[in-house]
Structure 1
Amino acid sequence: MKSKILITLGLFFGVIAVAVGGYGFYLYKSVTDTAQEIHEPIERVTEKREVEVDVEQSEPISFLIAGVDSRGDDHEGRSDTIIVMTVNPDDRSVKMLSIPRDTRTEIEGRGLDKINHAYAFGGVELTMDTVEHFLDIPIDHYVSVNMEGFKGLIDALGGVQVENDFAFSQNGHRFEEGTLFLSGDEALAYSRMRYEDPRGDFGRNDRQRQIVEAVIQEGAQISSITRAGSILEEVGKSVRTDLDLDAMWKIQDKYRDARHHVEQMEISGVGTRINGIYYLEVPDEEVSRVSNELRVHLGLEVDESVTVAE
């Protein structure tokens, strides 16, 4: 499936607002109320930047997207989906890196552990710090998604379309190979399967990323606008971010053209067991390769001894 995602929730809100200007004050108030509901600022300063990104000047920016596998509407649990998204408006491109949840890395105050445990130990702030330390890049903003609550948003959109590589069953649902149109419950089951996938967590990461992207794409379609009220209500239940509405509008205005070129990245490692617990060990050279590719995209200095993908 050709990926043309909108840049974070700012574009999601922006497209809705432009497409249904006739809704007037009602729509504006709904968007404003939802933006306030999902806004959860954090007191955090990245050590990987000397100065904060200047959105007005369209400087390259990074986001952490955390898919939290929790029950109900809360956002507590483990971040079973960790996606780093960098946006470079100069070359109109986006890079998205999925970090496997079992990746073994240093977590401040906890030592070496699985990267997805950072969310359980210290929420989104510790997750951002851990990802920064692991990849040696700044993480400027975050978006967390309650994957269980995401079902309601998908149903409010009328379902999402994905491309499935092979047939499998999960949680009582059968998913055939090819183009599928999924309800909320089906999408959650689709995104959670890993045991029938020869790629394990790597395959599940791809499916989870598919669902997140499909939701944002579907939310931008004119056919979804008549359900704007219910869509915004479900966004309020499922999504949290440190971006306020003003920041979302600025990102929508300055970074939207980058959606036309989205590159999916992967990081590879070797599975191992330590004291009976499974981890993914990522070699230093692989971390450096991925780090440098992202640093180039963010306009930062790189280790010239490491080959960077064009």
Structure 2
Amino acid sequence: MVRKNESGNSRSTLRKSKKRHRVLRVVLLSLALLLIAGTAYGFFEYHHLKPKNHFKNLTVVGGSSKKTGNYKEKAGTFNVLLIGSDARKGDAASHTDSMVLIHADLNNHTYNMLSIPRDTRVYMQGYGYTKLTSVQYISQVKQGEKKGIISAVQAVSNLTGVPIHYYAETNYWGLQYMVDALGGIEMNVPFKVTLTHPWYKRNSGKTFAAGVHKLNGEMVAELTHERYSLPGTDYGRQQLQQAALIGIAKKIMQPSNVTRLPALSRSLSKFLIATNMSTEDMVSVGLGVKGNFHPEKQIKYRQVKGQSAKMYDDLLKANNSQIILNKNELQTTIKKYFSN
């Protein structure tokens, strides 16, 4: 009897052991399938977000127009308009203070930039010719914040003949927050600058010699806002904006700042007033520049000269000073650096 019980117990123990092993195998198999599925999904997402796959058949802000008909789109490239406005908290509308058109080629790691002066003469649908700085303001007053941005983007697109896929707008405080979140930047100031119309009165008259300066957010924002003490006024401001963008890009890509990036992304609303770039778009850009980003070599700054002239402003119904960009120079620059 004892042996039978022992034998029965042994058989019972064996059955239980086999059952546990079957359960364990099922659990392990399930985990393996989940890992495989997760890896496959991750691979799909990585594959999907690679710039050549992600940036293709892009939507144009405001829709395509006849003036952008000669543009040939290429996978892995896109055009984005950076807008710097004078928006203050609580304002329903704002003027465009600066605009930078960027043609990003993530295949060849080149980023061509063209700053467009705020007083550039442009055509505004439904109104006629006016200053670029007025387009966003009037459209926002009449049709709301988003429509104002789209109108400004369309005005730049019509001026350059380039379709614009993305926009990102910031203001004085957004730029200040970003630089401070990075712990300040080094900015290579190309010429002597004296602050003549700063945001803060305490900074009036401050002077910066040409050369590299370590600056906080307030000083970077003040420098990129200055015009009147600069060689070429708006054109001098463009060079300062380029220096600031390069300084920010270099700081972001430092290994020590990798841990700051999640916090920066969560605080995006502090830096940007508006953008149509999705999280996926930004991740894809990150994949494109990862490990091969050298701002001073890859960010190329282009300028198109213009002449200041007293012109009739159809919007304001009066003569004012406007900048007329050299049409031939603009077309040559766009064809060479901003078209595919």
**TM-score of the aligned structures, taking structure 1 as reference length:** 0.72
User: Is there any run of 5+ residues in structure 2 with no aligned partner, and where?
Assistant: 1-58, 140-147, 312-317
Aligned-residue offset at 1:255: 5.9
Report if the CA contact (8 A) 2:114-2:301 is conserved.
yes
- Read off the aligned partner of 1:77 and give its amino acid letter: S
The range that moved more, 164-173 or 262-271, is: 164-173
**What is residue 187 of structure 1 aligned with on the other side?**
220
**What is residue 127 of structure 1 aligned with on the other side?**
152
- Read off the aligned partner of 2:102 and give its amino acid letter: M
Query: Counterparts in 2 of 1:21-60, with a 5 A limit?
Result: 44-47=62-65, 48=68, 57-58=75-76, 60=77
Report if the CA contact (8 A) 1:156-1:234 is conserved.
no
Q: For 1:137-187, what per-residue CA distance to the aligned partner results, in whole angstroms no more than 9, with x for missing partners?
A: 111111111223321221121111111123332142331221111111111
Distance of 1:137 and 1:79 partners within structure 2: 19
User: Is 1:153 aligned to residue 171 of structure 2?
Assistant: no
**What is residue 276 of structure 2 aligned with on the other side?**
242
Aligned-residue offset at 1:124: 1.6
**What is residue 167 of structure 2 aligned with on the other side?**
142
- Read off the aligned partner of 1:152 and give its amino acid letter: Y
- Read off the aligned partner of 2:84 and give its amino acid letter: G
Distance of 1:105 and 1:50 partners within structure 2: 20
Distance of 1:203 and 1:95 partners within structure 2: 18
**What is residue 264 of structure 1 aligned with on the other side?**
301
Report if the CA contact (8 A) 1:46-1:140 is conserved.
no
**What is residue 169 of structure 1 aligned with on the other side?**
194
Distance of 1:43 and 1:237 partners within structure 2: 23
Report if the CA contact (8 A) 2:246-2:299 is conserved.
no
Report if the CA contact (8 A) 1:270-1:280 is conserved.
yes
Structure number with the bigger relative contact order (C-alpha 8 A, sep ≥ 6) is 1
Distance of 1:235 and 1:75 partners within structure 2: 20
For the aligned residues, what is the CA RMSD? 2.9
Q: What SS class does the counterpart of residue 116 from structure 1 fall into?
A: helix
Distance of 1:52 and 1:238 partners within structure 2: 32
Greater CA radius of gyration, 1 or 2? Answer: 2
The range that moved more, 232-241 or 102-111, is: 232-241
The share of aligned pairs that are identical, in percent, is 20
Distance 1:146 1:234, change over 3 A: farther
Q: What SS class does the counterpart of residue 190 from structure 1 fall into?
A: helix
The range that moved more, 256-265 or 95-104, is: 256-265
- Read off the aligned partner of 1:63 and give its amino acid letter: V
Report if the CA contact (8 A) 1:167-1:177 is conserved.
yes
Distance 1:138 1:81, change over 3 A: same
Query: What is the aligned counterpart of 2:287 among 253, 272, 296?
Result: 253
**TM-score of the aligned structures, taking structure 2 as reference length:** 0.66
Distance of 1:285 and 1:270 partners within structure 2: 13
Report if the CA contact (8 A) 1:91-1:258 is conserved.
no
Aligned-residue offset at 1:73: 7.9
Aligned-residue offset at 1:254: 4.2
